[in-house]
A = this chain, B = another copy of it.
Amino acid sequence: MNEMTFQIRTEGDICLYEQIYQHIRGEIRRGKLLAGERLPSTRALAEYLQVARSTVDYAYGQLLGEGYIESRPCRGYFVCPVEDLLLLDGDMELPGDSGEGVRAGEQGGRPGQGDGAAGEGRAARRQDSTVPGGNETGRDKGMGARAAVDFSPYLIDMTGFPFGIWKKITKNILTYANSDLFAKGGPQGDWGLRCTISRYLHSSRGVDCRPEQIVVGAGNDYLLLLLEKILGRHVRIAMENPTYIRSYQIFRSFAYTIATVDMDECGMRADKLAQADVQAAYVMPSHQFPTGTVMPIGRRMELLKWADGGKDRYLIEDDYDSEFRFRGKPIPALLASDRHGKVIYIGTFSKAIAPAIRVSFMVLPEALLARYRADCSFYSCTVSRIDQSILNEFIGEGYFERHLNKMRKIYRAKHEVLLECLGDLREDFQVSGENAGLHLLLTAKNGMDERELIQRAAQRGVRVYGLSESMVEEAPDSRTVLLGFGGLGDKEIRDGVARLKEVWKGKG
């Protein structure tokens, strides 16, 4: 496969792993890759294609599972004899070749944004009916690669979305809309929505902030872009490792110097942070992604004390999924403990309502608010007044709270099903992060490493996600995978875990 020069298409509706799978499968079926030929290592191919290694792992796992390739210990992956393959369809035109392409940005993601690979891929597949050169038949051909069960931590349950209410509110807003609603609003967002958000933060997150401090924007990524303009260009920022890798990618695309600071069971270590020579620290105190760590009050105070120790030090609190906590009391935001204007709080409605609700918000401390107004208020608001009005009504009329309560119940039930199913898998795995959020972490004690876990799962049609996808630096010794349950039904969860047991039990 030295001539494997296929191009990864970053657009369209097929996941990256599927395209890799389909391409190699196609090359084998067409006889371009011959029996016995060695495939590139997953590391080499991942580097070449600039994708996460686990994506290639998963594609290889699928090919292994379907008998296209075989793994020879210590030697690598080899093409199986093609005559052994049952060619089910005669058409060699594969979807990956027909101009359809594959979405980019598969690495990283987080349930808070609902913007993980699988979610986008799925949605895109059904919607984008005008993909050039593509057609339903052509597209469905390659679907053998789709996981039977996808334990994506990046998916949320959309069946619980109150479509009816949302539609009703939208219709009402449009019915009574005058031309003002189609005009552009102020740069920070509509005053009414900001008042509503401020009340919501007070009642549910223990936060007292003025609506003046709130900046509304179309997604966390945009707010971070804006924050770069407020904080300045050459910030040294601390992140945990593992962390939410999309934020890492964004900070890296800035001129920021990123220092990873060690974590313990309480989250980012304050002593290490003090040594790191940074001005800002990015944390998720209510529920760290991906570890699920909840930062106790003691550590919070230590971080705040660190921030108090320097004039221009700030903590960036990404409160991405505080709504979904299954054990213990709700935990207030870090911002609630902030007395000296040291916390920049970022919240989102993309997860708790729907990823399509591209509304996030940022609470700025007074000093940064002044800087925002002086330096950045010419940036127009990225959310339309119509969308802001719909959301304002949805929260203000109590629908949001009702929706959250409903979703909390739904996710708690799924969470319990998953924990119950795991059963004797617990003998071979340590389970963590089980108090909140939409995924668990399983760490193998039976000698399997992350890649083997992913590949074995793929052979049974199950997709799990490696912890190393969230690592800033490579962690070759990871034995941990993430099992998300947000987007799965009970039956799928049970089926998926049963399959995992077949391939994960024992060894060691």
Contact = CB atoms under 8 A, between A and B. Distances in A.
B356 A130 contact: no
Contact of A127 (B123, B192, B354): B192
A219 B122 contact: no
Q: Which of A171, A180, A378, A381 has the most CB of B within 10 A?
A: A378
A183 B382 contact: no
A186 B377 contact: no
A210 to B, nearest CB: 9
A354 B180 CA distance: 10
Contacts of A233: 233, 255
B183 A356 contact: yes
Interface stretch (A75-83, A157-165, A438-446): A157-165
Given A128-B192, A255-B233, A387-B384, A250 B182 contact: no
Interface in A104-143: 104-105, 107-108, 113-115, 119-120, 122-124, 126-132
A158 B186 contact: no
Given A185-B124, A379-B221, A384-B387, A374 B50 contact: yes
Nearest to A376: B253
B191 A179 contact: no
Nearest to A178: B126
B378 A105 contact: yes
Interface in A150-177: 158-159, 161, 163, 166-167, 170-171, 174-175, 177
A207 to B, nearest CB: 18
Interface string A14-28: 000000000000000
Given A11-B191, A373-B10, A115 B380 contact: yes
A167 B174 contact: yes
Contacts of A159: 179
Contact of A108 (B11, B357, B378): B378
Contacts of A375: 253
Contact of A191 (B104, B130, B163, B382): B130
Nearest to A357: B384
A107 B255 CA distance: 29
Contacts of A185: 120, 123-124, 127
B11 A212 contact: yes
Interface string A248-288: 01100101000000000000000000000000000000000
Contacts of A175: 167
Given A167-B174, A358-B383, A184 B104 contact: no
Interface in A317-366: 350, 354-358
A181 interface: yes
B127 A190 contact: yes
Contact of A113 (B107, B171, B184): B184
Contacts of A115: 184, 380
Given A130-B191, A376-B253, A183 B120 contact: yes
Contacts of A299: none
A123 B356 contact: no
B174 A129 contact: no
A103 B383 contact: no
B382 A184 contact: no
Interface in A15-53: 50
Contact of A177 (B163, B222, B357, B386): B163
Given A10-B373, A167-B171, A170-B171, 12 more contacts: A11-B188, A104-B377, A122-B183, A123-B185, A127-B181, A130-B195, A171-B174, A182-B356, A221-B380, A221-B382, A246-B378, A255-B255
18 contacts: A10-B377, A11-B188, A11-B212, A122-B180, A123-B184, A130-B192, A131-B191, A132-B195, A132-B211, A167-B177, A183-B356, A218-B358, A253-B375, A253-B376, A255-B255, A356-B384, A356-B386, A357-B384
Interface of A: 10-13, 50, 101, 103-105, 107-108, 113-115, 119-120, 122-124, 126-132, 158-159, 161, 163, 166-167, 170-171, 174-175, 177-188, 190-192, 195, 211-212, 217-222, 225-226, 229, 233, 246, 249-250, 253, 255, 350, 354-358, 373-387
